[in-house]
Amino acid sequence: MREVKIALLGFGNVGKGVWKILNMNSEELIKRSGYHIKIGKILIRDINKARDLDVPKELFTTNFEDIIEDDSIDIIVELMGGIEPAVDYMLQGMKRKKHIVTANKMAIATKGNTLIKTSREEGVMFYFEGSVAGGIPIIHGLNDNLVANKIEEVIGIINGTTNYILTKMTQEKISFEQALAEAQKKGYAEADPTSDVEAFDAVYKLCILASLAFDTIVSVNSIYREGINNVKPIDIEYAREFGYVIKLLGIIKETNGELELRVHPTMVPAEHPLANVNDSFNAIFLKGNAVGDLMFYGRGAGELPTGSAVVGDIVSILRNKEKSSYYPCLKNEGYKKIKDIEEVKCEYYIRITVKDKPGVLGEISSIFGKNNVSILSVIQKGKREELVSLVFITHSTLEGNINKSIGMIKALNDSEKIENIIRIENLGMD
Ligand code: HSE
């Protein structure tokens, strides 16, 4: 039996998942890859830290040199996260002709081009299935199985923590703060939840998906981002009344060669499959010009789901090793124009608190009219008190027109308060 040695950089959740999968499915992996996959070294920070798995102590090292200098190691599996030193270690590995697998979204989203270019120059394989949506095979899906398509749009729930929080807020009618505390108790949200709730995590993933699906170089800074911290139970309740569910969506659309790239809370029709993706699950819905509508659904994080993607990548390398049939993914060699958010067209939900007196609704409606914003429906709720809620749903309009209107409404004398603006995607299935 041929044997291949791999090294793990990092031994957190995903590293442990890889260890477990290599042990629990070892026979299948030998049959499917033709190799016995052995872990030769594991790079960790603290050699004395107690670990719950029965890993021989001699595999651990705190010195990357022990890995890079070891010619018996064929594949480096980077699971440290963050940009540096992870990127430097991957580049060093490539230069020493080691194939690389990573699950590091931040590294791929920000340094993917350098990594791809170096892997090509060095003639090594580079896979990163685990970097987007954990166990969902979206990267191989886009690069291999769907390669015959022009992709028209990709819409995804690509952050499990925020999906868990929004699900709890919807189902249990609790506040964002209460739902976040539950997510932290369950281990979904971190002590500092910024990266998830303010949608930085989703932006990295969307950046990778956009460059794969649309063959282009995408900078994370060109992606419009809004987190879920301002979604209130009352917005969820209004959404329900209008037939929608609120989800944090990553959206990529191509129209006339220009890309829309945005991550924000979105109202989606309650009957659409994405509206029914709950708890910490992820889902990616896409339209291809040959395949039509397609949806991937599964676990977007966790030691075994992400470990499944990583071990799958290791097997892809082993299968391609002798065939030289590997062509690195990310064909991103050009730039597509990214639309400014002001040029995006959407329907909008706008909730405003106003003084309940004659003429207020008329004034606001006339501002919308002047800015070419057509109102689809409006409701006013309140208890004959001084302040009431006005909720508008607009027809599809340019975001720039909405922003101009909001500026004018804020300038009205009666100190109307714009409580929330949420974009609506009237998604259908073809
Ligand atoms: N924190 C991420 C999520 C998982 O909640 O989906 C890792 O990307």
Assign 330 a pLDDT band (cuts: 50, 70, 90).
low
147, 129: one domain: no
Percentage, residues of the chain above pLDDT 70: 96
Backbone phi, psi, residue 369, to 5°: -60, -45
Q: Which of 262, 317, 290, 276 is nearest to 129 (CA)?
A: 317
Q: What is the pLDDT of residues 191-224, one digit of tens each?
A: 999 999 999 999 999 999 999 999 898 999 999 9
Q: What is the pLDDT of residues 52-68, one digit of tens each?
A: 888 999 999 999 999 99
Per-chain mean pLDDT for the chain = 94
Assign 416 a pLDDT band (cuts: 50, 70, 90).
confident
User: With the CA atoms of 423, 264, 188 and 137 taken in that order, what torsion angle do they form, in degrees rounded to the nearest 10?
Assistant: 100
Confirm or deny that 345 is annotated as ligand binding.
no
Between the CA of 299 and the centroid of ligand 1 the distance, in Å, is 10
144, 289: one domain: yes
Q: What CATH number is given to the structural domain containing 404?
A: 3.30.70.260
25, 151: one domain: no
Neighbours of 349 (CB within 10 A): 22
Q: What is the pLDDT of residues 345-387, one digit of tens each?
A: 999 999 999 988 888 899 999 999 999 999 999 998 877 668 8
Beta strands in 91-180 (DSSP E): 99-102, 126-127, 151-157
Sequence-distant (6+) residues with CB within 8 A of 104 are: 78, 79, 80, 81, 82, 86, 128, 131
267, 152: one domain: yes
Q: What CATH number is given to the structural domain containing 116?
A: 3.40.50.720
Residue written as token pair 């006013």:
380
Q: What CATH number is given to the structural domain containing 158?
A: 3.30.360.10
Eight-class DSSP state of 344: -
Confirm or deny that 126 is annotated as ligand binding.
no
314, 393: one domain: no
Between the CA of 301 and the centroid of ligand 1 the distance, in Å, is 6
What mean pLDDT do residues 9-24 have? 97
Q: Is the pLDDT of residue 184 over 70?
A: yes
376, 413: one domain: yes
Q: Is the pLDDT of residue 327 over 70?
A: no
313, 384: one domain: no
Residue 419: inside a domain: yes
**CA distances for 41 relative to 15, 45, 169, 240, 278, angstroms:** 12, 13, 44, 52, 38
Distance CA 399, CA 345 (A): 6
Residue nearest to atom 7 of ligand 1 (CA): 301
Domain limits at 288? 138-299
40, 181: one domain: no
Assign 428 a pLDDT band (cuts: 50, 70, 90).
confident
Confirm or deny that 11 is annotated as ligand binding.
yes
Residue 336: inside a domain: no
Q: Which atom of ligand 1 is nearest to the CA of 195?
A: 1
Q: Which atom of ligand 1 is nearest to the CA of 162?
A: 5
DSSP code per residue over 200-247: HHHHHHHHHHHHHHTTS---GGGSEE--STT--HHHHHHHHHTTEEEE
Number of domains in the chain: 3
Residue written as token pair 């819905």:
285
Q: Is the pLDDT of residue 102 over 60?
A: yes
Distance CA 373, CA 364 (A): 11
Q: What is the pLDDT of residues 116-127, one digit of tens each?
A: 999 989 999 999
Query: Known catalytic residues?
Result: 205
Give the pocket of ligand 1 (CB within 6 Å): 159-161, 196, 201, 300-301
- The answer to whether residues 348 and 374 touch, using CB atoms and an 8 Å cutoff, is no
Residue nearest to atom 2 of ligand 1 (CA): 159
Determine the pLDDT at residue 280: 96
Beta bridge partners of 299: 281
Q: Which atom of ligand 1 is nearest to the CA of 301?
A: 4
Determine the pLDDT at residue 425: 97
Q: What is the pLDDT of residues 256-285, one digit of tens each?
A: 889 999 999 999 999 999 999 999 999 999
Identity at 287, one-letter amino acid code:
K
| pTM given for the model | 0.95
Between the CA of 195 and the centroid of ligand 1 the distance, in Å, is 9
* Residue to mutate (ligand 1; options 180, 196, 207; most atoms within 8 A of CB): 196
Confirm or deny that 14 is annotated as ligand binding.
yes
- The answer to whether residues 330 and 252 touch, using CB atoms and an 8 Å cutoff, is no
175, 280: one domain: yes
Distance CA 246, CA 237 (A): 10
